[in-house]
Structure 1
């Protein structure tokens, strides 16, 4: 395929969005978002030729990846090209480890180009299309299968959380002191057990679960787009609380809704609810820190309200 033909497959809005990311934010020694986006048409054309793929429709985009439906000699597939960054680095490792169990099947990978070839799923159906209780139960059931022994080389959740929490002191006044103090104590208590780390998805929200295609023998729902890490399964629940947030309400309704989502997911996943509550508090504090650092007061306010809802 010619580079100019491949360029027509890349949405301009995606190119503009990815262009905001600096090389330092990628944290893997790769190009900036702008550099990668500028080279994306040439990269896409080369991969389509190398892997003998034919585009069959418009692509879908996330924060940092383009996913294109393609046809190959033995059927349909999905081609994913991601800006090289730390969260995407271990996706092929996790997908190989799961080997299609509860997650999208990895067909081929070229980590040097941050390119994956995946089984084709039904991109029109995710868990935003079902009621919230069912969606939380589905995700819990997937997590029960995904939480296998972590392979070596993954980032550590406790170390990751600790690095983020060390930035709380620089945000004095933006975050309530009693909440930052509680987060510090929780991290100390939760990491004292020395539990064996499990392979975590860490971003399994409602849009990161897609339906399998009709007519296949695959499970009805499959996880996609892991930000793989090693740690305690309780860290996984928080994405269920920060997505579909308009359904949580405020005040006492938020507390009931957040606790219900957590309870349903934990029961289905076999995760200790008290431990999940602690890890979810830490995960929410991280979201509040990032919001404060980015000057997003709406995000800070939401996460402080969620921290209150998670408080005993």
Structure 2
């Protein structure tokens, strides 16, 4: 019997397993996952034609986007990637942030087609992120990137206040969460949002897998979910990722403070403000976990919130 040929690595179609997972997503300011997966391969082909690209390898998938390695057909050979993503609220302004940074601290945007949810980007080393780098070194790298990324926010970028308000309202309405947690988080958010200070362009999801090695710089950020707000808001992703390395009890509390200290030193941020904003973000993630019925995420963020308390 002749073995059936495997999938063509140059086929611009998204992986079927990933499409099945994506099809379960409800709409978040755009099409449902099911509606979008029916169009993604067509959108990819349209972008390949519009930007005169050819695929050079198998696709990679992220949480809500498929990424194809490509080059232009003009023979220049510059390695690029075509990212086609499911349209939702958090991804809607990614191209605006990348354009504002213009390659400083982040992957360089070559072209964007927001109507198709498509970005043409410089190609980084997708196999080399900060996930296996010594944690102090990784936090230092991220802190250094914050210094480059925290430029004045363009006026079109959604504000942190506009982003948080609906979640804080939902949190106040929950009856299945500890009242002390709700009171602490919502009160703290109100105080922090009222503080004066510069509103910078925030990445908001700069965890260890969203930093990739590059040729023109040691490390660059990818996949921003941009907001305009205070710089100290950024830090929570560094705590919720690689959390298993921090242990439990007093070890967890020490490790949380250590990550904040190292990152804030490298970034020039106020560590105390960073700690307080991390508490607010724990509260939002507690809300999400409660809505999703995710007991593991609920427990993780309640534990992290406790470790952040004085």
Shorter chain as denominator, the TM-score bin is over 0.9
The residue aligned with 1:226 is: 224
The residue aligned with 2:39 is: 39
The residue aligned with 2:173 is: 170
Determine if the alignment matches structure 1 residue 150 to structure 2 residue 153.
Answer: yes
- Quote the Cα distance in structure 2 between the aligned partners of 1:275 and 1:287: 19
2:138 to 110, 118, 135: 135
The residue aligned with 1:275 is: 273
Which stretch of the first structure deviates more once superposed, 69-78 or 144-153? 69-78
Which stretch of the first structure deviates more once superposed, 5-14 or 122-131? 5-14
Structure 1 alignment gaps of length 5 or more = none
Give the TM-score, by structure 1 length. 0.93
Q: Deviations over 1:7-44 (max 9, x none)?
A: 66311111011111222x2x1xx322111111111111
The residue aligned with 1:110 is: 113
The residue aligned with 2:97 is: 94
The residue aligned with 2:88 is: 85
The residue aligned with 2:4 is: none
Relative to structure 1, is the Cα distance of residues 236 and 222 closer, same or farther in structure 2, using a 3 angstrom cutoff? same
Give the TM-score, by structure 2 length. 0.93
Determine if the alignment matches structure 1 residue 195 to structure 2 residue 197.
Answer: yes
4+ runs of 1 displaced by more than 4 Å?
Answer: 4-8
1:210 to 189, 195, 212: 212
Structure 2 alignment gaps of length 5 or more = 1-7
Q: How many residues align?
A: 300
- Quote the Cα distance in structure 2 between the aligned partners of 1:36 and 1:188: 37
Contact 1:6–1:41 (Cα < 8 Å) also in 2: no
Q: CA deviation at 1:243?
A: 0.6
Determine if the alignment matches structure 1 residue 62 to structure 2 residue 62.
Answer: yes
Which stretch of the first structure deviates more once superposed, 139-148 or 193-202? 193-202
- Quote the Cα distance in structure 1 between the aligned partners of 2:133 and 2:222: 17
Contact 1:6–1:44 (Cα < 8 Å) also in 2: no
